[in-house]
Amino acid sequence: MHLRWGHADEVEVLAFDIFGTVVDWHGSIVREMSALHPQVDGDAFALAWRAGYRPAMARVMSGELGWTLIDDLHRRILDEILPQFGLAHLDEAARSHLNRAWHRLDPWPDAVAGLQRLKRKYIVCTLSNGNLGLLTRMAKRAGLPWDCVLSAEVFRAYKPDPATYRGVARVFDLPPQRVMLVAAHHDDLEGARACGLRTAYVERPLEFGAGKVKDVSPQAANELHSRDLLDLAEQLGC
């Protein structure tokens, strides 16, 4: 699926979802657990940790919790699940190091090269619920060539709050239709589209691991559908 380009509303900024779209959170957490705690089922641990993500954000979005960084939400979830995996004995230093695993996530194999190509023609930035420290350390380690790091922390709102999507356009002083969200999650893209952004879907069938393959079928509402970021670069003429 290709965009019908128009001179007045040409896309200038590509804003990227991060967890699952640019980096392989599941595989990375499995690898961390294999190295740190090989007796633990890394697949189950990664899925349990991620499963707490939306409920924790919902508590912030409802006002039950005050504004909280994702690092701190990840730590709350981690402390809750450790006993389930026989790791209740971990001390503060070990818990803190494990929680930083989210700063050490590996990019998908196509991500760095794809971003480098897209960066030649577009401003490329993050639009993630991850906090600024997390996203910056992740980019530094993984070699992700962002022009700008934007986060829910900047807007004090988590996606899919309209403040996040509209915030990107505001940062770059652009109308929303000149910003495109790139994501592997249809609900994220739907939120962006409702705010006037363009949308590009990226297939990440193994986001939740080989045991839980995702349906990555195209949805007509997205202007672009790509196999990976190299394919997206090709479609966008980069």
CATH number of the domain within which 224 lies? 3.40.50.1000
- Average pLDDT (75-83) is 97
More confident residue, 6 or 35: 35
pLDDT at position 6 over 80: no
Tokens at 179, concatenated: 């910003």
Residue 49: which CATH number?
Answer: 1.10.150.240
Of the chain, the percentage scoring pLDDT greater than 70 comes to 96
Tell me if 199 is assigned to some domain: yes
pLDDT digits (tens, 9 = 90+) for 177-193: 999 999 999 999 999 99
180 with 131, same domain: the answer is yes
Tell me which H or E stretch contains 47.
helix 42-51
Q: Which residue has the tokens 């490329």?
A: 124
178 with 69, same domain: the answer is no
Alpha-carbon gap, residue 44 to 170, rounded angstroms: 40
- Average pLDDT (133-145) is 98
- Average pLDDT (149-171) is 96
Alpha-carbon gap, residue 28 to 225, rounded angstroms: 25
What integer pLDDT is reported at residue 9 of this predicted model? 53
pLDDT digits (tens, 9 = 90+) for 193-202: 999 999 999 9
217 with 123, same domain: the answer is yes
188 with 86, same domain: the answer is no
Tell me if 159 is assigned to some domain: yes
Alpha-carbon gap, residue 40 to 17, rounded angstroms: 29
Angle at 179 (CA atoms; ends 176, 185), nearest 5 degrees: 105
Q: Phi and psi (nearest 5°) for 125? A: -140, 165
Residue 19 bridge partners (DSSP): 23
pLDDT at position 61 over 90: no
Tell me if 32 is assigned to some domain: yes
pLDDT at position 20 over 60: yes
151 with 210, same domain: the answer is yes
What integer pLDDT is reported at residue 208 of this predicted model? 97
68 with 131, same domain: the answer is no
Last residue of a domain, one of 39, 74, 103: 103
What's the mean per-residue pLDDT of the chain? 95
Tell me if 7 is assigned to some domain: no
Tell me the pLDDT band of 119, cut-offs 50, 70 and 90: very high
Residue 44 bridge partners (DSSP): none
Full domain range(s) for residue 189: 13-24+105-235
117 with 194, same domain: the answer is yes
The angle that helices 53-61 and 70-81 make with each other, rounded to 10 degrees, is 130
Tell me if 29 is assigned to some domain: yes
What integer pLDDT is reported at residue 53 of this predicted model? 87
- Average pLDDT (129-156) is 97
Tell me if 4 is assigned to some domain: no
Alpha-carbon gap, residue 181 to 68, rounded angstroms: 24
Angle at 231 (CA atoms; ends 141, 224), nearest 5 degrees: 110
Q: What is the layout of strands, in order, in the sheet containing 123-128?
A: 148-151, 123-128, 13-16, 179-183, 198-202, 224-226
Last residue of a domain, one of 78, 103, 128: 103
What integer pLDDT is reported at residue 29 of this predicted model? 98
147 with 60, same domain: the answer is no
Last residue of a domain, one of 51, 84, 103: 103
Worst-scoring range by mean pLDDT, 2-16, 84-98, 141-155, 223-237?
2-16
Tokens at 116, concatenated: 């480098």
167 with 79, same domain: the answer is no
Tell me if 8 is assigned to some domain: no
Q: What is the pTM of this model?
A: 0.94
Domain count, the chain: 2
- Average pLDDT (109-132) is 98
Hey, what amino acid is at 209? G
Contact 157, 140 (CB under 8 A): no
What integer pLDDT is reported at residue 5 of this predicted model? 46
43 with 120, same domain: the answer is no
Across 106-130, b (16+ Cβ under 10 Å) vs e yields: ebbebbbebbbbbbeebbbbbbbbb
Tell me if 3 is assigned to some domain: no
pLDDT at position 151 over 80: yes
99 with 121, same domain: the answer is no
Alpha-carbon gap, residue 12 to 125, rounded angstroms: 11
Query: 223 to each of 10, 103, 172, how far by Cα in Å?
Result: 13, 31, 21
More confident residue, 6 or 205: 205
18 with 121, same domain: the answer is yes
